[in-house]
Chains A and B, each alone.
Chain A
Amino acid sequence: MTRETTINLVLALLLLGAPMLAASLGEPFYVTLATRIAVLALAAVGLNLALGLGGLLSFGHAAFFGLGGYVAGILATHAFNAEPLFAGIPATTSMPLIWITAVAVAGLVALPIGAISLRTSGVYFIMITLAFAQMIYYFAISWPAYGGEDGLSLSMRNAFPGVNTAKPLPYFLICYAALMAALLLFRVVEGSRFGSALQAARQNGTRLAAVGIAPFNIRLVAFAVSAMITGFAGALYADLNRFVGPSMLSWHMSGELIVLIILGGKGRLFGPVAGAMIFVFFEYVLGGITERWQFFLGLILLGIVLFARGGLLGLLSGKPRHV
């Protein structure tokens, strides 16, 4: 077992064990905090596929996070009011159905956004993905039917067969399982033929084209899959907070996801998990001391970018292995 595998295992057990302990001690707040870590990490695992493996610095992933959230919010609101969605299609409060819808919507929206954005690269790619996300953000703000600027509250958490989702620990376990499934998917895709092509597209797009694989097609599929995972996280986030608002779609959120990945370690399997742990920890601890906690987070980020390019995982486990 490599050192990185050991660290990954420790992080996975820590994230599972801490909220279980907190629940047994009657401290539901910490369970919610751990759920927040799991969901943010899940969103960042999605972005890590595009950014870490494919080198695609999307500054618009909040769009997919928010879309997933609004799918959950809108479906739940309609179901609660017993109104059909449109054309008589009934809404639902079933989490699995909501997740499938959220993933599908995120993927379908990502395809045209990716198809246009991926014609550019570098700073232009960053700016175009940001522009698309901001369009969706302003659209949400100006659409009063679903709360507009005030967002949308869910009167209760959506349902998962056989689980009492209203309790913190069962809901945490759902989110944790989702995170682990996404990590498994990430690892499998990374080692597959598609993952090889995607990483080659990051390292040297010309080389990939010279052997006859069009980098555009590979990147587009990666962008869509990445958006689908982030959209899934968005749906879970809405249920966690029982609220969805335009802030989920804003560029701050896109930036946070990038920060999580850089903190934890870009392109590394557990980079997003480590990043989300640091982020939420500082948000909670420093946030309790000062309202300006993001200033200190900025300092840490600066230190990592300057001295530890591999993020926390790079610092702890050294260079990535060559395969």
Chain B
Amino acid sequence: MSEPVLEIRDLRKSFGALKATDGVSLELRPGQIHALIGPNGAGKSTLIHQIAGSLKADSGTIRFLGQDIGGLDMAARARAGLARSFQISSLAQEFTALRNVMLAVQARQGSSFRFFRQVTGDKELIEPAMVMLERVDLAARAHVPAAELSHGERRQLEIAIALALAPKAFLFDEPMAGMGPEGSKRLTAFLDGLRQEAPMLLVEHDMDAVFALADRVSVLVYGRIIASGTVDEIRSNPEVRRAYLGEAA
């Protein structure tokens, strides 16, 4: 088997007496979509925050492409190739959709200390950004400020920004949240094709999407991974059914 792209070992994070992450280990391998499921408050987003660098873990190691990234800040981890989306859309609200993606293109090109050339009319930024917007079906809304986009469009824009970073791994925190059945179905098909570009750690509540997409599923409950395996293994795991899936599965 190939080397894991992302490897987390015994990660721990407490908020006072609450153990939000309690000895979590998991791996993300090339070509894989690894879904992270669990009930509300299980610590899924907290885990994503620690991997992306917006929260510092109390202990444990995070290795990305063979390198320990535990000491890097969020921006450095993004530059190393970790692209994330946020559970609640986090965009530059006054910028248009296009400018939001252009910012990611500019970040990837490492050219943020250019003071003179104007970005409006800069083909090196606009063309790649438009390609990404087209990929997520948002090209028609390129010139609309992020603040005026619909909820679903903002989710699409988050994905376009992540794509523009040409990352080595995706961290998607509930990309389907609030999208409606039609949007979820389209996004599921889209994410399915994305695993060839980079592996993906996917936090998602939409079980249809998870079971359709995931190569591996880990179930997080009260900060611990209680089960990890293929979709079939997780579906038939009695502990998981009791703790989380309930009657639905």
Contact = CB atoms under 8 A, between A and B. Distances in A.
Q: Do A and B bind each other?
A: yes
Interface of A: 188-189, 191-197, 199-200, 203-204, 206-215, 218, 221, 322-323
Given A192-B119, A197-B112, A211 B96 contact: no
Contacts of B114: 192-194
B113 A204 contact: no
Residue from A192, A208, A210, A322 having most chain B Cβ neighbours under 10 A = A210
B102 A203 contact: no
Contact of A211 (B78, B115, B116, B125): B78
B106 A196 contact: yes
B2 interface: no
Contact of A209 (B73, B83, B120): B73
Contacts of A323: 95-96, 99, 120
A58 B86 CA distance: 30
Interface string B91-132: 111111001101110111001111111111010010000000
Nearest to A206: B90
B161 interface: yes
Contacts of A203: 92-95
Contacts, number: 113
Contact of B106 (A188, A193, A207, A322): A193
B78 A196 contact: no
B54 interface: yes
Interface residues of B, number: 43
A191 B120 contact: yes
B21 to A, nearest CB: 20
A182 to B, nearest CB: 14
Contacts of A218: 112
B90 A213 contact: no
18 contacts: A192-B114, A193-B112, A193-B115, A193-B117, A194-B113, A194-B115, A195-B115, A197-B112, A199-B94, A203-B92, A203-B93, A204-B91, A207-B90, A209-B78, A212-B108, A213-B106, A323-B95, A323-B99
B145 A322 contact: yes
Contacts of B116: 188, 192
B229 to A, nearest CB: 31
Nearest to A221: B113
A210 B80 CA distance: 11
A213 B103 CA distance: 9
A194 B116 CA distance: 9
B96 A192 contact: no
Interface of B: 52, 54, 73-76, 78-79, 83-84, 86, 90-96, 99-100, 102-104, 106-108, 111-120, 122, 125, 143, 145, 161, 164-165
Contacts of A212: 75-76, 78-79, 107-108, 165
Contacts of A192: 114-119
A210 B119 contact: no
B74 A322 contact: no
Contacts of A208: 75, 92, 103
**8 closest Cβ contacts across the A-B interface?**
A212-B78, A214-B75, A212-B79, A211-B107, A209-B74, A191-B118, A203-B92, A209-B75
Contacts of A207: 90-92, 100, 103
B144 to A, nearest CB: 8
Contacts of B78: 209-212
A204 B90 contact: yes
A184 B231 CA distance: 60
B88 to A, nearest CB: 11
Given A209-B74, A212-B165, A197 B90 contact: no
A204 to B, nearest CB: 5
A322 B108 contact: no
